[in-house]
Amino acid sequence: MIDLKKLTIKKARKALDSKEFSVVDLAQAYLKEIEKKNKELNAYLEVFDDVLEQAKVSDARIAKGESLPLLGIPLAIKDNILITGRHASSASKMLENYVASYDATVIEKLKKAGAVFLGRTNMDEFALGSSTENSAFGVTKNPYDISRVAGGTSGGSASSVSSDMALVALGSDTGGSIRFPSAFCGVVGLKPTYGGVSRNGLMAATSSFDVIGPIAKNIEDAEILFDVIKGNDVLDSTTITEKTYTKSSVKKVIGVPWNLINQEGLDPKIKENFEKVVKDFEGLGYKIKDIKLPNCLALYYIINFAEVSTNLARFDGVRYGLHKNGKNLLEDYLLSKGAGFGKETRRRILLGTYVLSAGYYDAYYGKAQRARVALRKDFVKIFSDIDLILTPTSPIPPWKVGEKSDPLSMYLADIFTVTANIVGLPAISLPSGFMDVEGLPAGQAGKKLPLGIQFMASHGGEDLLFEIGKKFEAIKGI
């Protein structure tokens, strides 16, 4: 019997190459877990019907002597990443029946690497949200407590890895959409440097923020998956080359923005956990430096709303997607978009249209873009004195499904994650421990919720994130 709980990519690779078990055996083990758990968790929107056929192809490659890091490794794919011939809905009624006509660049790379695609995972509609409650196809539940959210927008991917329904997964990150659910589900989530991974074949939310990245059970697995999907792509002019990446830490200084940590709104248990993590790194010989970072939520959401409104304008019900017949073309648009888009998506389209409108463009969007340029310069200066920035991933623990019906309270939860997207920096969320849930009935007493910390590095500094993450896992005995 395969112990999926303790399985890593490296362990699976060794077992597959030594014929301890086959790719078919491994795929069947994951399909069994999916059958057992997915109805309750709703992590997968679709489990592909050819998983075992894919596994047989990988077994044949192994039999011929091939041994690639991801050959035969089962993984899950977020529903906004295109795979030829597969449905890709971005968890929206607008694209419920859309079938991709080409592979995203990351999918091409994974196919060459021999990965086995288990299925497509649930998400907030068009990657807009922080909880996967905005999916048109139901909420994804947290494996640690099914009454709570898994985080978003890549909630299905994080939940699938956390619950052993996939060994690793791909998500996308616009303002924390990989890191946030990873923290809520107790797994590792990497948001690469902007342009580090091709966006070709990723459905656009906020094009200047979006990036595809890995979700895994440990740092090493995240690094292996990242190494396969990263790299320059002629189909994405924003991708960067290998020369961008930095090498090795020299200062051994970690910056902590205590001005954000000490403000109201941070859960006391999360602050306590964070302060313990800071002491852990001081014990490893790192110097902790107090730095000042601004609250970037307003800046982030102005740009987010603006780009969402323009990117989603293409879904007009004419060329593809949901179409409703009206009395005229305008009514076609109104009926199609009204039926196809969910509440949060409509909210962001309207707000984005407002900040881009005549008379408000300069006051909001123009000013936000100027502030973004200034912020990038500030970060160059900040990283001249430190290696990494450390914060909690989220200021609050996973909340109960339906608890945050007020969208503003959910937006505020993104305070630590959005900055990396605004300036294009790499960031990673690491499991940092657990907190007890108080006030539970006797039968549920002792339930714990996972917590996460976040490291940000300078542009192209993924190697520093992997380095610090491995040291942190060693402290925690992972």
Q: What is the pLDDT along the chain (478 residues), one digit of tens a residue?
A: 899 999 999 999 999 999 999 999 999 999 999 999 999 999 999 999 999 999 999 999 999 999 999 999 999 999 999 999 999 999 999 999 999 999 999 999 999 999 999 999 999 999 999 999 999 999 999 999 999 999 999 999 999 999 999 999 999 999 999 999 999 999 999 999 999 999 999 999 999 999 999 999 999 999 999 999 999 999 999 999 776 666 655 679 999 999 999 999 999 999 999 999 999 999 999 999 999 999 999 999 999 999 999 999 999 888 778 989 999 988 888 889 989 999 999 999 999 999 999 989 999 999 999 999 999 999 999 999 999 999 999 999 999 999 988 888 889 999 999 999 999 999 999 999 999 887 555 555 567 999 999 999 999 999 999 999 999 999 877 6
Q: Which DSSP symbol is given to 95?
A: G
pLDDT digits (tens, 9 = 90+) for 92-133: 999 999 999 999 999 999 999 999 999 999 999 999 999 999
Residue 458 and residue 280 in contact, taking contact as beta carbons nearer than 8 Å: no
pLDDT at res. 437: 80
Residue identified by tokens 């094009």 is: 207
Quick one: tokens of 469? 């993450």
Residue 158 and residue 182 in contact, taking contact as beta carbons nearer than 8 Å: yes
Task: From the candidates 78, 109, 141, 217, give the one annotated as an active-site residue.
Answer: 78
Whole-number Å distance between alpha carbons of 309 and 354: 9
> Residue 429 catalytic?
no
Quick one: tokens of 411? 């937006």
**Which residues share a beta bridge with 256?**
290
pTM here? 0.96
Task: From the candidates 177, 182, 198, 432, give the one annotated as an active-site residue.
Answer: 177
Domains of the chain from N-terminus onward: 4-244 (3.90.1300.10)
Quick one: tokens of 87? 């449905």
Residue 253 and residue 455 in contact, taking contact as beta carbons nearer than 8 Å: no
Residue 173 and residue 422 in contact, taking contact as beta carbons nearer than 8 Å: no
> Residue 78 catalytic?
yes
pLDDT at res. 244: 66
Residue 142 and residue 40 in contact, taking contact as beta carbons nearer than 8 Å: no
pLDDT at res. 251: 79
Q: Is 111 helix (H, G, I), strand (E, B) or coil?
A: helix
Whole-number Å distance between alpha carbons of 162 and 190: 15
Q: Is 125 helix (H, G, I), strand (E, B) or coil?
A: helix
User: Which pairs with CB-CB distance under 8 Å and at least 24 residues apart come from 289-294?
Assistant: 289/253, 289/254, 289/255, 289/256, 289/385, 289/386, 290/255, 290/256, 290/257, 290/258, 291/255, 291/256, 291/257, 291/382, 291/386, 291/389, 292/257, 292/259, 293/257, 293/259, 293/260, 293/389, 293/419, 294/375
Whole-number Å distance between alpha carbons of 389 and 253: 9
What is the torsional sign of CA 129, 133, 135, 140?
A: positive
Residues 6+ away with beta carbon under 8 Å from 144:
162, 185, 186, 398, 447, 448, 449, 450
* Helix H or strand E encompassing 478: none
Please report the DSSP string for 367-397 in residue order. HHHHHHHHHHHHHHHHTTT-SEEEEES-SSP
**Cα angle value 414/418/419 (rounded, 5°):** 135
Residues 6+ away with beta carbon under 8 Å from 45:
79, 89, 91, 119, 120, 121, 122, 137, 156
Quick one: tokens of 265? 């709104």
